């Protein structure tokens, strides 16, 4: 799958962009020329210069260093949200076609209930309940994107689970886990991969919106969304300020969506882009 993805022009490009972003997130803090929290009262809101490649913010902190440090937090947060969504979406999704009516009914109703919750309000409520932290906020986001995973998994697993060869395997004594792994999962995996990629993009946007609003993050810690917010406040003093964090968000999210498209082309799995768009629209 990876090989055909690399041969896909869009897929290869998006993978390269994402790899670069991940590298930035992993090694960025080491490369950062300054401490992202260090304030310099003599250099407030400076334009890009040799000393500060991307300038400084309202407290004299180096924007490049903050961006690099913020990548780690933002990406980790998005990954966490997707991981939570994967676990509480895919597992019941697979089991719902396999364990029979009562389980199916209960999980469907729970997922329907999740769908009705608005992202931001739920995230705010969760952080109010569990304490303001990125992990809590991402748990909330993970819970809210799980219905997308649940439905995609179910839709892909449903026709396979009722295929005669699966029924035959089950009736002739193959253990349930074996049947799921061997016969059902390979058919479901491409669809899940596509939705993972596009939901990763969607959660990045959600993370950015949340941190933009100051939810899930304590002020000095840098994130892309948070930097966008502080830069926006000083838009008149430094009009180019929001440009770089915004670009980073756009490029990364775009690469995620492009990757999802490429994955769909390569595997022939159905697209989740439309439902990801719905997710964005709700934010």
281 lies in the binding site for another protein (CB under 8 A): no
Smallest gap from Cβ 185 to another protein, in A, equals: 11
Instruction: Return the number of the residue (98 or 122) whose C-beta is nearest another protein.
Output: 98
Q: Which of 8, 61, 66, 183 binds another protein (CB under 8 A)?
A: 183
Structure tokens at 24: 């930035």
Smallest gap from Cβ 271 to another protein, in A, equals: 21
Stretch that binds another protein, among 180-188, 202-210, 220-228, 270-278 (CB under 8 A): 180-188
Smallest gap from Cβ 172 to another protein, in A, equals: 4
Interacting positions 120-179 with another protein (CB under 8 A)? 163-165, 168, 171-175, 178
Instruction: Return the number of the residue (42 or 172) whose C-beta is nearest another protein.
Output: 172
Size of the site for another protein (CB under 8 A): 14
- Measured between alpha carbons, how far is 122 from 129 in angstroms, rounded to an integer? 10
Instruction: Return the number of the residue (36 or 190) whose C-beta is nearest another protein.
Output: 190
Smallest gap from Cβ 176 to another protein, in A, equals: 12
Smallest gap from Cβ 91 to another protein, in A, equals: 22
CA angle 242/68/61 to nearest 5° reads: 65
| DSSP symbols for the chain | -HHHHHHSHHHHHHHHHHHHHHHHHHHHHHH-SS-TT---TTS-SPPP-SSSTT-B-TTS-BHHHHHHHHHHHHHHHHHHHHHHHHHHHHHHHHHHTTS-HHHHHHHHHHHHHHHHS-HHHHHHHHHHHH-S-HHHHHHHHHHHHHHHHHHHHHHHHHHHHTSHHHHHHHHTT--HHHHIIIIIHHHHHHHHHHHHHHHHHHHHHHHHHHHHTTTTS-TTS--HHHHHHHHHHTTTT-TTTTHHHHHHHHHHHHHHHHHHHHHHHHH-PPP-HHHHHHHHHH-
Instruction: Return the number of the residue (163 or 229) whose C-beta is nearest another protein.
Output: 163
Instruction: Return the number of the residue (109 or 182) whose C-beta is nearest another protein.
Output: 182
Q: Which of 186, 239, 254, 268 binds another protein (CB under 8 A)?
A: 186
Instruction: Return the number of the residue (94 or 124) whose C-beta is nearest another protein.
Output: 94
Instruction: Return the number of the residue (166 or 273) whose C-beta is nearest another protein.
Output: 166
Smallest gap from Cβ 148 to another protein, in A, equals: 25
Q: Which residues bind another protein (CB under 8 A)?
A: 163-165, 168, 171-175, 178, 182-183, 186-187
């Amino acid at each position: 799958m990876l090989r055909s993805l690399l041969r896909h022009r869009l897929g290869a490009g998006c993978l390269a962009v994402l790899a670069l972003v991940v590298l930035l997130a992993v090694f960025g803090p080491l490369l950062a020329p300054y401490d992202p929290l260090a304030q310099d009262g003599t250099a407030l809101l400076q334009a890009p210069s040799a000393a500060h490649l991307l300038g400084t913010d309202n407290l004299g902190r180096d924007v490049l260093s903050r961006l690099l440090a913020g990548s780690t937090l933002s990406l980790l947060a998005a990954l966490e949200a997707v991981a939570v969504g994967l676990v509480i979406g895919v597992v019941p999704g697979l089991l719902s076609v396999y364990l029979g009516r009562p389980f199916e009914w209960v999980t469907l109703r729970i997922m329907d209930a999740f769908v009705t919750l608005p992202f931001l309000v739920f995230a705010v409520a969760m952080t109010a309940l569990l304490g303001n932290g990125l992990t809590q906020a991402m748990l909330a986001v993970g819970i809210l994107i799980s219905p997308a995973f649940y439905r995609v998994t179910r839709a892909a697993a449903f026709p396979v689970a009722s295929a005669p060869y699966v029924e035959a395997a089950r009736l002739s004594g193959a253990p349930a886990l074996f049947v799921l792994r061997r016969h059902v999962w390979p058919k479901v995996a491409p669809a899940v991969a596509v939705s993972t990629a596009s939901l990763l993009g969607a959660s990045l946007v959600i993370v950015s919106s949340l941190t933009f609003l100051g939810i899930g993050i304590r002020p000095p810690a840098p994130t892309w969304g948070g930097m966008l917010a502080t830069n926006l406040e000083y838009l008149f003093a430094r009009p180019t300020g929001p440009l770089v964090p915004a670009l980073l968000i756009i490029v990364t999210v775009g690469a995620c969506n492009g990757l999802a498209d490429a994955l769909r082309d390569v595997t022939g799995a159905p697209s989740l882009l439309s439902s990801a768009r719905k997710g964005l629209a709700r934010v």
